[in-house]
């Protein structure tokens, strides 16, 4: 049975990946990611020029600016992070439709007449999303290598750590999207759920930051309640949102903390495993029929 399952996983993942690569969605996501990265880097370079600094290639892995005050940042890190965010959002949207689309179209019933079970089906869908993100990442790597040569911004160790982290982020995003998809029977419902959660994940940290910065801890009345509520919501979002796992890893990279970086990788893997197991459980409960 395990052999049949592996064959089924390979066949379904290959079929879905070919479909993805021959669609426009993935290339639109790649283009948006590269545009955002380019704008960020252009702004960064403009700021350097305004301050009269020169970018010089370093013999080390970091880029150095030679001026009165010497610095050693990794300017490619921020643009890569936002490009990864955009690619990951595409993966989440695609994953959120992956199960419900098959169920909605009735093709799932046909698949389950063959050597396909819930584990094979969910794993195949997940594998396809990871492979699709790998394609996105290859475009990003090529682009940043070119930018590095043109701009003299060296690709430091943090950049390569971010690449590793982004693959695990893709796993978190794909598993989250599939978890949403497993709960619905219609593609439209899956997309609505996806949009609702994305809005929540983006707005809650902003609201939390706003209340923490603008209102002191001894504030009274409604503002005190709002401050407390946003704190609780932000805590929940920090563990539920797949974006937060990339953020933790990014902070660890910026702080050069290998321990925290490894912890972020482990938490990302656990998050992915739990949601995939949840997807399989819900999938079995709901069945394959429309």
pLDDT tens digits for 149-192?
887 777 888 888 899 999 998 999 999 998 988 888 788 888 88
* pLDDT above 90: percentage of residues in the chain: 29
pLDDT-based confidence at residue 112 (cuts at 50, 70, 90): low
pLDDT in tens, 244-267: 888 888 888 888 888 999 999 999
* Per-residue confidence (pLDDT) for residue 182, from 0 to 100: 85
Structure tokens that stand for 124 in this block:
């195949």
Compute the Cα dihedral for 11, 6, 187, 36 and give only its sign: negative
CA–CA gap between residue 290 and residue 287 (Å, rounded): 9
* Model pLDDT, residue 60: 43
Confidence of residue 31 (pLDDT cuts 50, 70, 90): very high
Phi, psi of 64 (to 5 degrees): -120, 140
Rounded-to-integer distance, Cα 247 and Cα 279, Å: 24
Lowest mean pLDDT among 70-74, 271-275, 285-289: 70-74
CB-based contact 124:8 (threshold 8 Å): yes
pLDDT of 150 reads: 80
What integer pLDDT is reported at residue 127 of this predicted model?
93
Does pLDDT of 139 surpass 90?
yes
The closest of 209, 216, 129, 207 to 175, measured between CA atoms, is: 129
Q: What is the mean pLDDT of residues 90-99?
A: 86
Mean pLDDT of the chain: 82
Range with the lowest mean pLDDT among 14-23, 158-167, 207-216, 238-247? Answer: 207-216
Kindly tell me if the per-residue pLDDT of 20 is higher than 80.
Answer: yes
> For residue 172, what pLDDT is reported?
93
Position 151 scores a pLDDT of 76
Q: Which percentage of the chain shows pLDDT scores above 70?
A: 83
Is the model's pTM score more than 0.75? yes
- d(CA 288, CA 112) in angstroms, rounded, equals 8
Q: What is the pLDDT of residue 288?
A: 59
Q: What is the distance between the alpha carbons of residues 229 and 233, in angstroms, rounded to a whole number?
A: 6
Residue 61 has pLDDT above 50, yes or no: no
Q: Confidence band (pLDDT; 50, 70, 90) for 51?
A: low
Radius of gyration of the chain from its Cα atoms, rounded to whole angstroms: 22
* Residue 84: pLDDT band with limits 50, 70, 90: very high
Residue 98 clears pLDDT 70, i.e. is over it: yes
DSSP secondary structure, the chain, as one string? -HHHHHHHHHHHHHHHHHHHHTSSHHHHHHHHHHHHHHHHHHHHHHHHHHTT-EEE--SSSS-EEESSS-B---TTHHHHHHHHHHHHHHHHHHHHHHHHHHHHHTHHHHHTTSS--HHHHHHHHHHHHHHHHHHHHHHHHHHHHHHHHHH-----HHHHHHHHHHHHHHHHHHHHHHHHHHT-SSHHHHHHHHHHHHHHHHHHHHHHHHHHHHS-TT--THHHHHHHHHHHHHHHHHHH-THHHHHHHHHHHHTT-HHHHHHHHHHHHHHHHHHHHHHHHHHHHH-S--
Looking at the predicted structure, is the pLDDT value of residue 72 above 60?
no
Q: Quick check: 65 pLDDT over 50? A: no
Q: What angle do CA 16, 21, 23 make, to 5 degrees?
A: 95
Please tell me the predicted confidence (pLDDT) of residue 99: 77
> Whose CA is closest to 247, among 114, 77, 132?
77
C-alpha closest to that of 205 among 175, 246, 252: 246
Say if CB 70 and CB 64 are below 8 A apart: yes
> What are the angstrom distances between the C-alpha of 18 and each of 11, 69, 122, 194?
11, 51, 17, 24
Q: Any idea of the CA torsion for 182, 21, 31, 122, to the nearest 10 degrees?
A: 20
């Amino acid at each position: 049975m395990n052999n049949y399952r592996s064959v089924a996983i390979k066949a379904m993942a290959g079929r879905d990946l070919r479909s993805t690569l021959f669609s426009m969605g993935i290339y639109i996501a790649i283009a948006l990611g590269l545009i955002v990265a380019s704008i960020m880097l252009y702004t960064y370079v403009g700021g350097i020029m305004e301050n009269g600094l020169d970018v010089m290639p370093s013999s080390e892995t970091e880029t150095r600016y030679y001026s009165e005050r010497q610095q050693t940042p990794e300017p490619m890190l921020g643009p890569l992070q936002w490009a990864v965010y955009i690619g990951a959002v595409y993966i989440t949207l695609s994953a959120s439709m992956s199960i419900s689309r098959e169920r909605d179209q009735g093709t799932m019933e046909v698949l389950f007449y063959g050597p396909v079970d819930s584990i094979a089906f969910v794993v195949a869908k997940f594998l396809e999303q990871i492979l699709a993100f790998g394609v996105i990442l290859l475009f990003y790597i090529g682009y940043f290598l070119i930018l590095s040569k043109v701009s003299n911004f060296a690709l430091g160790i943090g950049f390569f750590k971010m690449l590793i982290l982004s693959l695990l982020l893709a796993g978190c995003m794909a598993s989250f999207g599939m978890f949403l998809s497993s709960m619905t029977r219609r593609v439209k419902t899956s997309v609505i759920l996806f949009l609702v959660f994305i809005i929540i994940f983006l707005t809650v940290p902003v609201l939390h930051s706003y209340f923490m910065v603008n209102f002191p801890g001894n504030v009274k009345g409604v503002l005190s309640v709002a401050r407390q509520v946003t704190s609780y919501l932000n805590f929940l979002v920090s563990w539920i949102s797949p974006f937060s796992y990339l953020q933790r890893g990014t902070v660890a990279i910026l702080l050069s903390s290998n321990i925290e970086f490894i912890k972020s990788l482990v938490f990302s893997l656990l998050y992915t495993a739990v949601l995939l197991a949840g997807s399989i459980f819900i999938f079995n409960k709901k069945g394959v029929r429309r």
